[in-house]
Structure 1
Amino acid sequence: MHDVRPVPEAAPTGSGPGEPRAAGRSTAVLPVYEGWRPPWPGEELPADGGTVFLRHTPYAGPDDGPRARALYVHGLGGASTNWTDLAGLLSGRLEGYALDLPGFGRSAPPADGGYAVARHVQAVEAVLADVSARPGPGAGGPVHLLGNSLGGLVSLLVAARRPDLVATLTLISPAMPVYRVPAAFDRAIALLLLPGIPALAEKRVRLGAPEDRVRATLEMCFGDPARVPEVRLREAVDEARLRDEQAWAGRALTRTMRGLMTSYLRVGRANAWRAARGVTAPALVVWGDRDKLVDPRLAPRLATTLPDARLQVQTGVGHVAMMEAPEDTARAVLALLDEVAPG
């Protein structure tokens, strides 16, 4: 069953000289699911010397459609399930793959225990190459890459390194380098840069009941936590319980955070802002104006730093637009695809 649903308009962005180009809004018919859409199934995949869990959203468009492929990359503390709704809405145009980064979701930790941003970049690059090479329509072609938060930063770096693998780049509140700790974070998080402190922090992330930790996370990540359906809340609690059973979960979270903060100190070619200037893929930058984790004021800066970018700022939305406003996000992505790959 298909239908066209109204979605909230994004906040306007400028298109004058020196201002970011406003994202389009597709009027395409979007898939509609009767009732709740469960997480997409997946499988383990070798990547960067270890294995990752990769979910698959089948193509659901017309038989003569383009059947392009997409790879979705979640943020810090997230999982492939963060993309369930957006991947479904885009399935009429894109065959989707969403991975759990090493040490997150259902993916095993890296074999050598490394959680630097560069290691996540290597893992995503390996998965991207695998998705591109899979048999079927579109085999061997570049892939549409979408990332949120940490996954957005990683996706940007992958796009700069491997332009041959990336058809378009969509960045949703990417964790671009900043030089102060956001107010929403615990001030003690800066201590992660000190030797020995991550081991203590690993124990702290498990404190409290899963339900309380999930609600605190939603308060931090959503502009309006009331938008979270009850079924998605239960899913998140189940994910939290799963993480509590994984001996490596706390280590993956705290050491990836440490790696992220360390990456902010990179200069020269390793700096993400410099890398952004070298991205050749057409890009879409999506940001919620109530993002408490990454300053929304970075949105126009990034959209004008990327050589070929469009900007959508969503009113009343927080850090995870693909979860809080999936239809509005999907229409911006489809408008990008219509522009660069008609049909």
Structure 2
Amino acid sequence: MVRRILLGTLTLIALAFAVIVISVVQFDVPREELVGQYAGGASQFVTLPSGASAHMRDEGNPDGPVLVLIHGSNASLHTWEPWVAELGDSYRIVSMDLPGHGLTGRVPGDDYTREGMADFVGELMDVLNVDRFAIAGNSMGGGVAAQYTLEHPGRISALILVDSAGIPVERKEEDVPLAFRLARMPVVSNVMRYVLPRSVVEEGVRKVFVDQSKVTDEMVSRYFDLSLHEGNRDATRMRFRSYASRDEEAFAARLGEIEVPVLVIWGDKDGLIPVSAAHEFKKRIPQAELAIFENVGHVPMEEVPEASAAAVRDFLASALAASSSTSPASPPAGAAVNEGGEAVPEAVE
């Protein structure tokens, strides 16, 4: 009798454990299963010389100055949709999913460093035959944008840093999304390769907004689904490992080399990268202009799109007018850009 009860109890425990495992274990999802939901409208896939298949969008005014938008860590080009809507009347806007993100996924060579991502941006702009452009980046993407500007100053007409990485900062651990904290732990990050509760993703998304009404189920689902894109979690682990060897102070020390017009946009309630970093960017890049928004978090382009885009519009109008160089003519959005088959953007239906 006791043995039967014990066996029954163990069976129930095993079943409960199996249910828990099934509910949290998440396998990679092939790109083909995500394209229909997240690659609509202007989305295209471009095969770069490095072999990467870049998910990108080329939108807005095909005859306007080019503005390139670089998203942050674990985000995607979708984060820029509000700015595309606000600025697309005047600018040709190119956005992309960086390596290890969104629908681009894992790339040949597995280079997910800041330098590698800047090279990726340059490859894409070469394929599009865009020689000169303004560039904006949020968070990790701001560091990538600054890196590209430092390495290719002749191609950049203006730089916009939105709650940008690149300055060593101190932050409260509780302000950092749990997913980021877990990704920094060697053993735990290996477990996260297969175990990713949706609640962890939602917590991370909510952390970057002050106005919680901006966080929708659709937004959380997109972040969660794209994190499961085949290869993205492996890429995230490699990327976070590369942070350990990165000398952020050495990078910050180079910021004074930037000579183009710079706009620094920040949310004053950003817990992930505090607003003190905005003032440090200004200190290191004297010509930088500051636009700080009250009661806003880490992603002003999504939380206050109208106000932040208006700041960008005013800044670019002045910066581009003052530029001594003119942008070479670029092909219209979505046009074939070379005579080789692989480098031509392929529209997604």
Q: Alpha-carbon deviations, 1:187-235, whole Å to 9, x = none?
A: 896786676664334334x1x23xx34431232111221234x4xx414
Matched length: 282
Corresponding residue for residue 43 of structure 1: 44
Which of 224, 234, 240 is residue 224 of structure 2 equivalent to?
240
Amino acid in the other structure paired with 1:54? M
Q: Distance in 2 between matches of 1:275 and 1:40?
A: 39
SS of the equivalent of 2:255 reads helix
- Give the structure-1-normalised TM-score: 0.74
Which of 144, 157, 164 is residue 174 of structure 1 equivalent to?
164
- Indicate conservation of the 8 Å contact 1:39/1:84, yes or no: no
Shift of 1:127: 2.1
Kindly tell me: are residues 322 and 193 of structure 1, through their superposed partners in 2, closer, same or farther at Cα, counting changes over 3 Å?
closer
- Indicate conservation of the 8 Å contact 2:177/2:204, yes or no: no
Amino acid in the other structure paired with 1:234? E
SS of the equivalent of 1:286 reads strand
1:117 matched to 2:114: yes
SS of the equivalent of 2:109 reads coil
Shift of 1:105: 0.5
Shift of 1:129: 3.3
Corresponding residue for residue 292 of structure 1: 271
Gaps of 5+ in 2: 1-38, 323-349
Output aligned runs, 1:224-239, within 5 Å.
Answer: 224-228=211-215, 230=216, 233-239=217-223
Kindly tell me: are residues 89 and 226 of structure 1, through their superposed partners in 2, closer, same or farther at Cα, counting changes over 3 Å?
same
Corresponding residue for residue 288 of structure 2: 309
Corresponding residue for residue 31 of structure 1: none
Q: Alpha-carbon deviations, 1:165-199, whole Å to 9, x = none?
A: 11111010011242646422268967866766643
- Indicate conservation of the 8 Å contact 1:69/1:144, yes or no: yes
Q: Distance in 1 between matches of 2:179 and 2:226?
A: 26
Q: Distance in 2 between matches of 1:89 and 1:312?
A: 17
- Indicate conservation of the 8 Å contact 1:221/1:291, yes or no: yes
- Indicate conservation of the 8 Å contact 2:158/2:320, yes or no: no
Q: Distance in 1 between matches of 2:257 and 2:291?
A: 21
- Give the structure-2-normalised TM-score: 0.73
Amino acid in the other structure paired with 2:135? L
Corresponding residue for residue 152 of structure 1: 142
- Indicate conservation of the 8 Å contact 1:102/1:108, yes or no: yes
Q: Compare the two structures and name the one with the higher helix fraction.
A: 2
Q: Which has the larger radius of gyration?
A: 2
Q: Distance in 2 between matches of 1:326 and 1:272?
A: 29
Q: Distance in 2 between matches of 1:192 and 1:106?
A: 20
Gaps of 5+ in 1: 1-37, 61-65, 135-139
1:275 matched to 2:275: no
1:262 matched to 2:253: no
Q: Alpha-carbon deviations, 1:30-66, whole Å to 9, x = none?
A: xxxxxxxx96521112334422111122218xxxxx6
Corresponding residue for residue 154 of structure 2: 164
- Indicate conservation of the 8 Å contact 2:74/2:227, yes or no: no
- Indicate conservation of the 8 Å contact 1:193/1:262, yes or no: no
Amino acid in the other structure paired with 2:164? P
Q: Alpha-carbon deviations, 1:102-128, whole Å to 9, x = none?
A: 111000312122322221121122223
Amino acid in the other structure paired with 1:56? D
Shift of 1:82: 0.3
Amino acid in the other structure paired with 2:291? Q
1:326 matched to 2:305: yes
CA RMSD of aligned residues (A): 2.6
- Indicate conservation of the 8 Å contact 1:129/1:165, yes or no: no
